[in-house]
Amino acid sequence: MAALLAGALIYYNFIDSNTTDMLPGDDTTTESGETADPSPEDQPPIGVEVGKTCPPLSLDLLAGGEGYKLNVGETDGKVTVLNFWYTTCGPCIEELPHFYEAAIEYTDSVRIAAVHVEQSGVDAMAWLNENHPEWTDGNMLIGWDTGKVWANLFRIQACPVTIILDDRGVITDYFTGSVTASELTEAVEKALGE
C-alpha cells in the first residue's frame, strides 16, 4: 500500500499532464536531452473545451450514412460541425435550416452532423421524414447520440448546442443556445482558416 501511495505521490508531484511531452525518449526530446520545438502538427491534449482535441468517439448515423458511424477523431482533413438537437426543441428546429444550408455550401470541406439527443433514432427519423425530408437527403448527416454519450461528455444541459472542430479535430467553437446563419458561417470559416 505504501509503495502505491509513494508512486502516486511521485506521479502527481513530478509528472503531470503539462510536462509529459518533455520526458526522456519522447519525440520532442533531442539526443542531447534538450527539448525540441514542437511541430505544428502536434495535437493539443484531448478534452471538451475550445482549444482541445475532441475525444475520438463514434456516432451512429441515421441519415447521410445509414448503418455507419461518424468517427469524429477521423477528420479526413474536413472541418466537423456537431449540432445537438431534439424534435421538441423549438430553438433547435428554428436553427437547423442554417446547418442544412451550410452543409450544401461547404460540402467539399465541412461535415455537418445534426445529432439527436432525445427519444430514439427511429423517432427522430420519423419526425424528419414527416416534417423536413429534405434534411435527410445526405447533405447533412443525421446522427443519434445513443445513450447520450456525447451529451454527457460535453456536459450538455440543454439544447441546442453546436461544437465546431477544425480539420485536425481541435474544438474551435462551442455555442450554447441557438446560432444564426451568420454566426455559423463565421465559425465555420474560422475553423477552415479563412
Q: Which domains does the chain have, with CATH numbers?
A: 1-40 (no CATH), 58-192 (3.40.30.10)
Q: Half-sphere exposure (CA, 13 Å, Cβ side) for 118?
A: 12
Axis crossing angle, helix 181-192 with helix 90-105, rounded to the nearest 10: 50
Closest residue by Cα to residue 99 from 183, 194, 193:
183
Angle at 69 between CA 64 and CA 70, to 5 degrees: 75
Q: Where are the alpha helices (DSSP H) in 73-163?
A: 90-105, 121-131, 149-153
Angle at 152 between CA 148 and CA 52, to 5 degrees: 125
For the cut 80, the answer to whether the pLDDT of residue 33 exceeds it is no
Residue with cell 467553437: 173
DSSP state letter for 27: T
Cα first-last separation, the chain: 55
Q: Which of 66-75, 149-158, 173-182 has the lowest mean pLDDT?
A: 66-75
As a whole number of angstroms, the distance between CA 121 and CA 126 comes to: 9
Largest CA distance in the chain: 66
pTM: 0.75
As a whole number of angstroms, the distance between CA 73 and CA 64 comes to: 18
The confidence band for 110, taking pLDDT boundaries of 50, 70 and 90, is very high
The confidence band for 22, taking pLDDT boundaries of 50, 70 and 90, is very low
Q: Which of 15-24, 106-115, 131-140 has the lowest mean pLDDT?
A: 15-24
As a whole number of angstroms, the distance between CA 161 and CA 170 comes to: 17
DSSP state letter for 46: B
Q: What is the pLDDT of residue 25?
A: 32
Q: What 3-state DSSP class applies to 14? A: helix
Q: What 3-state DSSP class applies to 35? A: strand
126 and 87 in contact (C-beta within 8 Å)?
A: no
